[in-house]
Amino acid sequence: MKKFLQLISILMAIALVIAFVPAAPFSSMADETAPAPDRADVRLGWIDENQGPGVARWVDENGNISKQPGKAKAESQSNSTQETQEEKAGESSQGSGTSQSATGESGQAETQAETQPETQPATQPETQPAETGRQIDPALPMVALTFDDGPYAPVGNQIMDSLAQYGGKATFFVVGSRAAAYQTELKRMVAEGHEIGNHTFDHKYLTKLNGAQIQSEINRCNDAVFAASGVRPALVRLPGGLKNHTVLANVNAPIIMWSIDTLDWKTRNTSKTVNAVLSHVKDGDIVLMHELYSQTGAAALEIIPKLAAAGYQMVTVSEMAQYRGGVVPSGVYSQFHR
Ligand code: NI
């Protein structure tokens, strides 16, 4: 009985403590321990809500997220986690471009041309890059530097400045929805002999779309680039590199993959990006980088002079294809090795 009374008094003491401790400290503790979003510290920079290469969003000085600088308004996050995983899967399968290239060869392309005459042909005279005084020696090594997900003038102009200094050209696979905002940059690309490729209108993963939707993504990007620059892209790079039979059947242009994946979007590290290129590069490589990141711009400023010093001709993808067997609509190409 004595023990029972002791137990009762202990329980009452506990109850009193609980009753008189104010609730406020608990709620403030909850605030402090709530995990901060990863992007919380990003201001005046690009974030990638997919945590992978894709359409990045701009964060202004107040933390507002928008598609592009100067259009600050919070936008709903339309890209899902599911897409993130698929994007990563697509990026990690980059080596498969070669093995799949045989599936999209010319037989399919001919069918495509007959059944869908309204689709913009891949090779129109107006799509050819300006070739005024351009000298390429087919006997010497060449490499195609490619930059996805732009245009984005702060980095793109840096890249073009360096290429101008060393006589190099690059290929910019741009997102059509961004084209109108960067007309000046796109016109500079054309004027200086760089190639503008098609990276779809708004970076949708084409494996999730039907045939008509795929064609719309490609055609709207071509139209937007043409409206902004006067040139219609001849080549397509698929968002995430993701492809299936429907994609191959409905992209009526050569599909360009890559042989060197710098993972610049993931590391955001200049020296890692530089090393990824310089430690692997060989004649006929296609190098994948992304135009949105300042670290990629800084890397390009190191890569370009070193490639030049090593004797590489920095050429556009179409230029390299021209000397290395050519391309056909719906063909898939990840390199142009000899
Ligand atoms: Ni992309």
pLDDT digit string (tens) for 202-257?
A: 999 999 999 999 999 999 999 999 999 999 999 999 999 999 999 999 999 999 99
pLDDT at residue number 62: 72
pLDDT given for residue 58 in this prediction: 66
CATH of residue 228's domain is: 3.20.20.370
Comparing 119 with 178, which gets the higher pLDDT? 178
The two tokens of residue 2 are 């004595």
Residue among 318, 55, 310, 300 at smallest CA distance from 195: 318
pLDDT of residue 59: 64
Residue 173 pLDDT greater than 90, yes or no? yes
Average pLDDT, the chain: 77
Most distant CA pair in the chain, distance: 106
Give the pLDDT score at 35: 38
Q: Measure CA 21 to chain center.
A: 54
Total residue count of the chain as it appears in this document: 338
Shared domain for 210 and 328, answered yes or no, is yes
Domain residues for 317?
A: 140-333
Whether 23 is covered by a domain: the verdict is: no
Tell me which of 77, 106, 130 is where a domain ends.
77
Mean pLDDT along residues 82-89: 37
Residue tagged active-site, from 194, 245, 290, 337: 290
Instruction: Clarify whether residues 281 and 195 are in a common domain.
Output: yes
Q: Are residues 68 and 145 in the same domain?
A: no
Alpha-carbon dihedral sign for residues 266, 272, 274, 275: negative
Residue 181 Cα to ligand 1 midpoint, Å, equals 18
pLDDT at position 127: 42
Nearest Cα to 62, choosing from 54, 52, 50, 73?
A: 73
Same domain, 50 and 159: no
Residue environment code for 44-67, b if the CB has 16+ CB neighbours within 10 A, otherwise e: ebbbbbbbbbbbbbbbbeeeebeb
Whether 186 and 61 map to the same domain: the answer is no
65 and 145 in a common domain: no
The rounded Å distance from CA 137 to ligand 1 centre is 31
Does any domain span residue 243? yes
CB count within 10 Å of CB 2 equals 6
pLDDT at 25: 37
Domain membership flag for residue 7: no
* The model's pTM: 0.69
15 alpha carbon – ligand 1 mean position (Å): 59
Same domain, 72 and 145: no
Averaged pLDDT for residues 142-152: 98
User: Which residue from 47, 54, 41 is spatially nearest to 85, judged by alpha carbons?
Assistant: 54
Q: Quote the ligand 1 centre to 334 CA distance (angstroms).
A: 15
How far is the centre of ligand 1, averaged over its atoms, from the C-alpha of 10 (Å)? 64
Q: How far is CA 29 from the centre of its chain?
A: 40
Instruction: Verify whether residue 290 is a known catalytic residue.
Output: yes
Given a cut of 70, is residue 273 above it in pLDDT? Answer: yes
Catalytic-residue membership of 202: no
Answer whether residue 82 is part of any domain: no
Of the candidates 48, 148, 149, 285, the residue annotated as catalytic is 148
Cα of 203 to ligand 1 centre, how many Å?
6
How many structural domains are present in the chain?
A: 2
Last residue of a domain, one of 30, 48, 77: 77
| 134 has a pLDDT exceeding 80 | yes
Domain identity same for 62 and 155: no
